[in-house]
Amino acid sequence: MAFVPAPGYQPTYNPTLPYCKPIPGGLSVGMSVYIQGVASDHMKVVVNGNPFYEYGHRLPLQMVTHLQVDGDLQLQSINFIGGQPPPSPQGPQMMPAYPGPGHFHQQLNSLPSMEGPPVFNPPVPYFRRLQGGLTARRTVIIKGFVPPTGKSFTVNFKVGSSGDIALHINPRIGDRTVVRNSLVNGSWGSEEKNISHNPFGPGQFFDLSIRCGLDRFKVFANGQHLFDFTHRISAFQRVDTVEVLGDVTLSYVQI
């Protein structure tokens, strides 16, 4: 059953216990309650969304400050989600708006909200409604793998009622290009292809972050800025669908 967010859904971070709040709109069929936290006496390991192992704490949690990964593997990405940052004597804690050095910073409380839980290993073609439409500062994260024989795949931000496409991202593996375009009133606009690097190759993992701003999309791949795309549909709030098509295997989608 598909995730259906409550009306006016907004996540609550670091609430105190006991927690008792009304469910906006009441409980209904298709609604999911997503709770993420820390177990006080053990760590829970989840692989591809499935429980895998529980490991009892042998040190106080407050002593743990670093994460180390080593061995015969290729890392796709590492994310730290949730938790309470330590207070800063210099004011609000700052963090990169996107992974990687050299990019602008923003306060933690200005980070975009998540509209629903992440989806692991969804099938392709992948279609997902944007509850409430596209909004400024909203970020969509797509992680996946290009098969060794992959030729092309597509990510579209669409207006469902008209079929218009506000942002069309089309990595063409054989040509080593990443084509961007828009479809308005049945007509394609001019293609944009200039990029400083191409992260999409056969047999390669990728981590794509697509952020909607007031005047443009900002797209990052594997922690590096890839391109900007100026809005060609000024009322970008009409965009209500994300779709992924083509030669790609998805491992994680967060909308």
Higher pLDDT among residues 231 and 196, named by residue:
231
- pLDDT tens digits, one per residue of 150-163: 999 999 999 988 88
Cβ-based burial of 107 (10 A; exposed 0-12, middle 13-18, buried ≥19): exposed
Instruction: Quote the tokens at residue 226.
Output: 């890839």
Amino acid letter, residue 231: H
Provide the 3-class DSSP secondary structure of residue 109.
Answer: helix
Ordered by start, the domain boundaries in the chain are 119-254
Task: For residues 45-59, give the mean pLDDT.
Answer: 75
Predicted local distance difference test score (pLDDT) of residue 202: 92
Higher pLDDT among residues 89 and 146, named by residue:
146
- pLDDT tens digits, one per residue of 10-47: 556 567 778 888 776 777 665 556 666 666 777 777 76
What's the CATH architecture for 119-254? Sandwich (2.60)
Does pLDDT of 244 surpass 80? yes
Sheet (strand 177-184) strand order: 126-129, 241-246, 153-158, 165-172, 177-184, 187-188
Cβ-based burial of 145 (10 A; exposed 0-12, middle 13-18, buried ≥19): middle
What 8-state DSSP symbol labels residue 59? Answer: S
Task: For residues 174-201, give the mean pLDDT.
Answer: 93
- pLDDT tens digits, one per residue of 99-109: 333 333 333 33
Predicted local distance difference test score (pLDDT) of residue 201: 92
Predicted local distance difference test score (pLDDT) of residue 200: 94
- With cut-offs at 50, 70 and 90, classify the pLDDT of residue 229: very high
- With cut-offs at 50, 70 and 90, classify the pLDDT of residue 239: very high
Task: For residues 178-184, give the mean pLDDT.
Answer: 96
Residue-wise over 151-184: b if at least 16 C-beta within 10 A, else e?
A: ebbbbbbbbeeeebbbbbbbbbbeeebbebbbbe
Predicted local distance difference test score (pLDDT) of residue 69: 82
Strand partners of residue 53: 45
Instruction: Quote the tokens at residue 43.
Output: 């760590």
Chain Cα centroid distance, residue 113 = 11
Give pTM, 2 decimals. Answer: 0.60
Predicted local distance difference test score (pLDDT) of residue 80: 57
Instruction: Quote the tokens at residue 62.
Output: 């407050």
What percentage of residues in the chain have a pLDDT greater than 70? 70
Cis link prior to 18 (omega < 30° from 0)? yes
| 8-17, 107-116, 131-140: segment of lowest average pLDDT | 107-116
Helix (H) or strand (E) holding 120: strand 119-120
Q: How many CB atoms lie within 10 A of CB 128?
A: 19
